[in-house]
Amino acid sequence: MVPETWPIVALEDVANCPYCGEANRTLAYEGIEDWAFGCAPGHWRYWDCGNCKALYLHPRPTVDSIGKAYRSYYTHGDEKVAGLLAGLKQRIRNEFWSLDMRTSLHPRVGLPSWFRRPIQWLKPFIAEPFGLREMAQLPKGLLVDVGCGNGDKLRLANQLGWQAQGIEMDAAAVQAAKMQGLHVEQGGYELLERYRGQVDCVVCSHVLEHVHQPMNLLRMLLASLKPQGVLLLSAPNASSGLRVHYGGNWRGLEAPRHLAIPDAVWLTEWLRAEGLCCTQIPSQTLETAIESERIHRRALQISFDDVRTAKAFLKGAPALSASQQDIVQLVCVRSQS
């Protein structure tokens, strides 16, 4: 059983917003637990920044203690192929992406190129990983994936012709990636310092919200880029339309691992002020809605009713604007100057 409280000695106060430094804030939610995975102790408070609209924990786990929130975390282990069906699904996905993007990802079915049009009916049923299309289309060079987990994007990047390098904190994830022949260093985002001004494409997907000093991470990501280098950045959006609907049951909270969630508009404007040309890619909402319905029931497994209710809600909801996307997904190109 997970303990009910986080040790007081392992907590720290957050006097100012981790993004903009503003002290003014309002309480957004209290009594939030780890309803996403049920593996981290504690009851948590999230606050809305009065300036940049970020959503952040106060108090929060210290740097030394946060690891206990990840002991049963799902993304950092070696994912085993669950039988022939899962393998077939992956082949179909790779086949679709290969034909659609005019590239080759393996393993695949091996259909001829003229199947490109007939296979388009699958598009609504195959979620495209953020950054895959950009990795397929950009000129190839050095790609660094910060917080690469067990190396899913690195594996794709290698197949697409990149010189792919990963950075990952979790030792088990690093081992899983290395067993696949991938190049991964164990450590924090500080390892980016050794790549200053050398990277053609840096990937940072769902990492920003996990770190204690997100602005330090952002600055190091930008410093790593060559002129005309590309940053592929994604994170939950504090102004998500799904957050408005689900409130404290929003899947994007994920206390206490999500320490500080940025606002899409503020983050985009900050990057543009740093000299990057940013394009926002719309995000998928169904998975978050389904998970939020599950959390609303305080259940650990998704039910048919969760799927049905989520689909009904999304069908009747208005389309989300760029500022209301559930996930902010940015393709940012650095200027030559």
Residues 206 and 58 reside in one and the same domain: no
Helix (H, G, I), strand (E, B) or coil at 327: strand
Confidence (pLDDT) at 73: 65
pLDDT in tens, the chain (337 residues): 565 799 999 999 999 999 999 999 999 999 999 999 999 999 999 999 999 999 999 999 999 999 999 887 654 444 444 467 778 888 899 998 888 998 988 888 888 888 888 888 888 888 889 999 999 999 999 999 999 999 989 999 999 999 999 999 999 999 999 999 999 999 999 999 999 999 999 999 999 999 999 999 999 999 999 999 999 999 999 999 999 999 999 999 999 999 999 999 999 999 999 999 999 999 999 999 999 999 999 999 999 999 999 999 999 999 999 999 999 999 999 987 6
Count the neighbouring beta carbons within 10 Å of the beta carbon of residue 70. Answer: 17
Confidence (pLDDT) at 125: 80
CA 72 to CA 155: how far, in whole Å?
A: 24
Residues 151 and 246 reside in one and the same domain: yes
Six token digits for residue 79: 């994912």
pTM for this predicted structure: 0.93
Residues 134 and 203 reside in one and the same domain: yes
Residues 218 and 318 reside in one and the same domain: yes
Give the domain range for residue 17: 8-70
Residues in the chain: 337
Count the neighbouring beta carbons within 10 Å of the beta carbon of residue 113. Answer: 8
**Is residue 230 a part of any domain in this protein?**
yes
Residues 66 and 132 reside in one and the same domain: no
Give the chain's domain count: 2
**Is residue 81 a part of any domain in this protein?**
no
CA 258 to CA 27: how far, in whole Å?
A: 16
CA 48 to CA 181: how far, in whole Å?
A: 43
Confidence (pLDDT) at 2: 63
**Is residue 325 a part of any domain in this protein?**
yes
Last residue of a domain, one of 70, 98, 118: 70
Confidence (pLDDT) at 113: 87
**Is residue 158 a part of any domain in this protein?**
yes
Describe the crossing of helices 304-316 and 286-296 by its angle, rounded to 10 degrees.
120
